[in-house]
Structure 1
Amino acid sequence: MTDSGLNLPQEFPPTLREVMLRRRWLGVLALCLVVAGVFAWLGQWQLARAIDTDPPPPGMTEQVRPLDEVIEPGQYLAEQLGGQRVQTSGTWVPEDFIVLSQRFNDGEEGYWVTGQLRVAERTSIAVAVGWAQTREQADAAVESLQREGAVSVKITGRLIDDEGVEVPPRADPLQLTRMSPAALLSRWHDIDELNVYRPYLASVTASAGLVDISSPPPQQKSPINWLNIFYAAEWAVFAGFAFYLWYRLAKDAWEREVEEFEEAAGEGSGAGETAR
């Protein structure tokens, strides 16, 4: 008779399924399910951001809209509004016409004349007035605009994002090559408590003998962001790897038990032969 209370030697090694169904590995599986669920949620979030379900209609940027309906002073320019044609009116500040160098117009290098346009009480926007081929032409345009004084104008142009502040060259610390309202603000006059638009306005029609700035419509972007789709696929791979990691760890534990069983069985048979 066999006594069920005795710890008898195991006749066969455990199967992989038996090891996986042990409490320890079921707990690890539950943890992997939580981790995989987080990864799946992140993948879904990336996928939702990858497809623009409400893209702007074609040609929207070419519809001239009032400036104050598109953006407020101090706000960042939304990506879908880059290059939007707007219209505004205001008064020039005669002292604040500044020349920018290294500005290209249809592939030809030249200069921009920029100005501060007061569109409301204590509110201004930087405007790229026009392009000149030489510095002498740009300086002459600045002198002409300054002589006209604080005239009121109505301007139609494209809203373009700030190009960023640059470190001026040592040879000419006053030289500017980027259209940055933040950099221009430091050189403007009467700026106490002044509200400034973050993007600038590239005027469609030049003045003071300047050439119109070439500013074609922005390219229509695809409603699909492939980079976000790639990230979503990465999260799916990570979720699958969580299950593979559980399977690999459980299988390693099972293989160790099988090896230990085989070693014990070999030692037992060796001891039996010695006893004979």
Structure 2
Amino acid sequence: MYRFLLTPRWWGINVFVLLAVPFCVFMGSWQLGRFEDRVQDHRTAGEQAASAKTAPARPLAELLPVDQATSGAQATATGRYGKQLLVPDRELDGERGYYVLTLLRTDGGKALPVVRGWLPGDADPAKAPAAPAGEVTVTGALQASESPGQGGLPAGQTSAISSASLVNLVSYDVYDAWVTLDRADGGMKAVPATAAQGTGLDLKAFQNLGYTGEWFVFAGFVVFMWFRLLRREAEFVRDAELGLVPDAAPAEPAGQTPAGTSAP
């Protein structure tokens, strides 16, 4: 009954199934591995953030460039505060407000963006406390530059704490990093450090998990369709052997008589 499996048509079907199922399983396992890697990165980032809070502060130059190991580490820098900007639409403890960002001109000539604190409500330069005068030494959690934001904001505001954005607002170079003070000044709230980008259980991580399920479903679907086709073919062969398959010979066209007979 199953001799039809040796036909060229079924050879093609079988080869496709034998290739498709391992491929789907491999892709599903790969996506699952990507998800597990992100989970591990999330755990590692959490452990590093916890240890960074208790580790002694180090000079800024020793922690650059910012990576997963140095993100959140305590950094110190000395200089004089310069231009002050507001970063609107920033939430803290579920409340909408804005950051007060001041550029610290260091001895090296570059400026370090310093988030001195957070205030509630709409960005208002009149409410933002002025930066301390003279030479200061700041200590705070080191953060990597954010992705450049959109323009169109009023003067004195920036949508992202990014060196690519800030360099267009000042006449001097800006570090590709920023710090958030452990203790905000001027009555503002301190902004907590965030985890390094790509280390959290974000949407991409759960997309990997979703793709894992999809690939395994595809593998199961291929096997299901193979069994369905096999059963259908086997039933057709069985019916043909029992003579249950209707004659597929073409009918004679209307107005014609079979060969070998004469019309009345």
TM-score band (shorter)?
Answer: 0.5 to 0.7
> Residue in 2 aligned with 1:188?
170
For 1:21 and 1:81, locate their aligned partners in 2 and report how far apart those are by CA, in whole Å: 63
Query: Which gives a bigger RCO, structure 1 or 2 (Cα 8 Å, sep 6+)?
Result: 1
> Residue in 2 aligned with 1:215?
192
Contact 1:62 1:217 in 2 (8 A): no
Contact 1:100 1:111 in 2 (8 A): yes
> Does residue 19 of structure 1 match 2:12?
no
TM-score when scaled to structure 1?
0.63
For 1:53 and 1:107, locate their aligned partners in 2 and report how far apart those are by CA, in whole Å: 27
For 2:136 and 2:179, locate their aligned partners in 1 and report how far apart those are by CA, in whole Å: 16
> Does residue 243 of structure 1 match 2:223?
yes
Correspondence for 2:138 among 132, 154, 175: 154
Contact 1:116 1:188 in 2 (8 A): no
Say if 1:42 and 1:56 are closer, same or farther in 2 by CA, change over 3 A.
same
Q: Deviations over 1:26-67 (max 9, x none)?
A: 332112211222111101101112224573275531333645
Say if 1:129 and 1:168 are closer, same or farther in 2 by CA, change over 3 A.
same
Correspondence for 1:204 among 157, 177, 182: 182
> Residue in 2 aligned with 1:263?
246
For 2:22 and 2:91, locate their aligned partners in 1 and report how far apart those are by CA, in whole Å: 52
Contact 2:78 2:138 in 1 (8 A): yes
Correspondence for 1:178 among 149, 159, 168: 159
SS of 1:56 mapped into structure 2 = helix
> Does residue 168 of structure 1 match 2:155?
no
Say if 1:126 and 1:21 are closer, same or farther in 2 by CA, change over 3 A.
same
For 1:98 and 1:251, locate their aligned partners in 2 and report how far apart those are by CA, in whole Å: 72
SS of 1:126 mapped into structure 2 = strand
What is the CA-CA distance between 1:128 and the residue it aligns to?
A: 0.6
Q: Deviations over 1:179-216 (max 9, x none)?
A: 4223322212223xx6x32x532111234x34242427
Alignment map for 1:222-237 (pairs within 5 Å) = 227-237=207-217
TM-score when scaled to structure 2?
0.66
Contact 2:141 2:181 in 1 (8 A): yes
Fraction of identical pairs, as percent: 21
Say if 1:152 and 1:227 are closer, same or farther in 2 by CA, change over 3 A.
same
Q: Deviations over 1:127-155 (max 9, x none)?
A: 212245664241x514xx4x43xx25232
What is the CA-CA distance between 1:69 and the residue it aligns to?
A: 5.7
Unaligned runs of 5+ in 2: 251-264
Contact 1:87 1:155 in 2 (8 A): yes
> Residue in 1 aligned with 2:261?
none
Contact 1:141 1:210 in 2 (8 A): no
SS of 1:113 mapped into structure 2 = strand
Unaligned runs of 5+ in 1: 1-14, 268-276
Q: Deviations over 1:82-141 (max 9, x none)?
A: 6x24213142352x2223345555566555321223567465432212245664241x51
Say if 1:131 and 1:232 are closer, same or farther in 2 by CA, change over 3 A.
closer
For 1:187 and 1:92, locate their aligned partners in 2 and report how far apart those are by CA, in whole Å: 18
> Residue in 1 aligned with 2:87?
100
For 2:214 and 2:65, locate their aligned partners in 1 and report how far apart those are by CA, in whole Å: 38
Say if 1:71 and 1:29 are closer, same or farther in 2 by CA, change over 3 A.
farther
> Does residue 43 of structure 1 match 2:60?
no
Contact 1:168 1:176 in 2 (8 A): no
Letter in 2 for 1:72: P
For 1:136 and 1:187, locate their aligned partners in 2 and report how far apart those are by CA, in whole Å: 20
Contact 1:126 1:201 in 2 (8 A): yes
What is the CA-CA distance between 1:230 and the residue it aligns to?
A: 3.2
For 1:88 and 1:25, locate their aligned partners in 2 and report how far apart those are by CA, in whole Å: 71
Contact 1:160 1:202 in 2 (8 A): no
Say if 1:56 and 1:100 are closer, same or farther in 2 by CA, change over 3 A.
closer
For 2:20 and 2:45, locate their aligned partners in 1 and report how far apart those are by CA, in whole Å: 40
Letter in 2 for 1:202: T
> Does residue 87 of structure 1 match 2:84?
no
Letter in 2 for 1:61: A
Q: What is the aligned residue count?
A: 229
